[in-house]
Amino acid sequence: MKRALAIFLLLAAAGIPAAPAQARLENIRYYAYPEYTRVVLDLSREVRIAEKVLKGGEGGRLFFDLKNCRFALNYPADKTSEIRVAAGNLQRIRIGKFQAQTIRVVFDFDRIGRYNRFTLTSPFRIVFDIYRQEEYVSRGEQARDARQAGTATGTAAAGGQADPGAGEAVPAEGRPAISGTPSIARQLGLGVHRIVIDPGHGGKDPGTVNRRLGLQEKDITLDIGKRLNAILNEHQELEVILTRPRDEYVPLEERAAIANSNQGDLFVSIHTNSAPRLSARGVESFYLNMTSDPWSMQVAATENAMSSKSISDMRSILDQILRHSKVAESRIFTQSLQECIVANLRGKYDAIDDLGVKKAPFYVLLGAQMPSALVEVSFLSHRDEAKRLASPEYRQALAAGLYLGVIRFIRGLGKE
């Protein structure tokens, strides 16, 4: 010990930095489905990764080393050597100590097409999105492709699930054009069958809280989500999936995974806003992209539960992810939601501020493969808006506005 201390002092005196603190692997979670798997590694701090992919026609393997890392004391005992993944394109995950300071993780696939890796902070997480094919194909696109191929037999092209919409008489049109053509929303609309509604927060995460009125964001978003679900069911135009149908905690990274794995065609995350400036009020909607606007960064930081400083670190993550995201369609979808919510509220209420459509890097939207939006329906920090949010009529009006925005987008009436 004495010698170690002496060496440490010597190094410190020489200005040589001591070895960085060791990271601990706390858990490995996965969301596996036939066409798509998301794996999340929970770590105590940032780690350096060295990775390799071995692709084969049949089967594939992705392995990577977590440097200067060891298992946390509370790491689940049943995940220390192998995790058998029952479903999905991922067969199993193997975990082991490779060297004294290194943990090696191996994914064995029956097939691997494209994969994305990105990291999230506070706490540090590594997320892998792995697709069976090079390009993700949504459920609506599958159904449309099946129709175009003349296989309108009620079976989707892939996955083999019964598809009630596939037998309908729909004019044959080409695949959606690459972004830039004016009719992109209309063309895309042909393939929209299933919407994923994400009520923000839940369980141990209350979101924004208005203590004076005893209101929590998680309760309001769930109620609006359920109301939107009810309206959609009533009209039977779309299948609906809720990321959380009750008051439960769902990690942010699981929500886009739910949307992807269920092959959703649209994804909307519902939130209530808050601001230190108590006079701030109104409706604003976001799509996923980088921003330099301080307020948008602030909103994203709050929703991501991170510091606004680390928002700027997300640029490199986003560059990689946005290449495979439907950015142009997401912007049109977001605009459609924003305009319809505002118009619908203004028909019934005064003083509805339209804060417009903005972009920001939200964790919950990262990796979502369909047009997606995050809507801040009103400010829970504003005296009058909080009172309104407490009333079922106002929440119903918000849900109706969201519904109108979804339908307008699908019908291709969203403005470019």
The footprint of Zn ion (CB under 5 A) covers: 200, 207, 271, 303
Between 39 and 215, whose beta carbon lies closer to Zn ion?
Answer: 215
Task: Give the tokens for residue 146.
Answer: 């099946």
Closer to Zn ion by CB, 37 or 221: give it: 221
Centre a 10 Å sphere on the Cβ of residue 229 and count the other Cβ atoms it contains.
20
Task: Report the distance separating Cα 413 and Cα 231, nearest Å.
Answer: 20
Contacts 24+ apart (CB under 8 A), 13-16: none
CA distances from 49 to 67, 68, 103 (A): 6, 10, 10
CA angle 170, 172, 177 (to 5 degrees): 120
Q: CB of 245: closest distance to Zn ion in angstroms?
A: 18
Kindly state the smallest distance separating residue 270's Cβ from Zn ion, in Å: 8
Residue 116 or 121 with smaller CB distance to Zn ion: 121
Whichever of 83 and 268 has its CB closer to Zn ion, that residue is 268
- DSSP character string of 16-47: PPPPPPPEEEEEEEEEEETTEEEEEEEESS--
User: Which residue, 138 or 274, is less far from Zn ion as judged by CB?
Assistant: 274
What is the end-to-end Cα distance of the chain in Å, rounded? 68
Instruction: Report which of 116, 112, 176 is spatially closest to residue 140, judged by C-alpha positions.
Output: 176
Task: Write down the least CB distance from residue 272 to Zn ion, Å.
Answer: 6
Q: Which is nearer to Zn ion, 217 or 339 (CB)?
A: 217
Least spacing, CB of residue 242 vs Zn ion, in Å: 16
Least separation in angstroms between CB 216 and Zn ion: 11
Q: How far is the CB of 308 from Zn ion (least distance, A)?
A: 15
36, 129 Cβ separation under 8 angstroms: yes
Residue in this structure with the two tokens 């005064």, named with its chain if needed:
350
Least distance CB 394 / Zn ion (angstroms): 17
CB of 98 to Zn ion, least distance (A): 40
Burial class of 373 by CB neighbour count within 10 A (0 to 12, 13 to 18, 19+): buried
Non-local (6+) Cβ contacts of 97 within 8 A are 70, 103, 104
Q: How far is the CB of 225 from Zn ion (least distance, A)?
A: 12
Which of 140, 207 has the CB closer to Zn ion? 207
- Gyration radius of the chain's alpha carbons: 23
Which residue's CB is nearer to Zn ion, number 51 or number 293?
293
CB nearer to Zn ion: pick between 223 and 303 = 303
Q: 212 is written with which tokens?
A: 């004076």
Minimal CB distance to Zn ion: which residue? 271
Q: CA of 19: how far to CAs of 101, 216, 355, in Å? A: 12, 44, 48
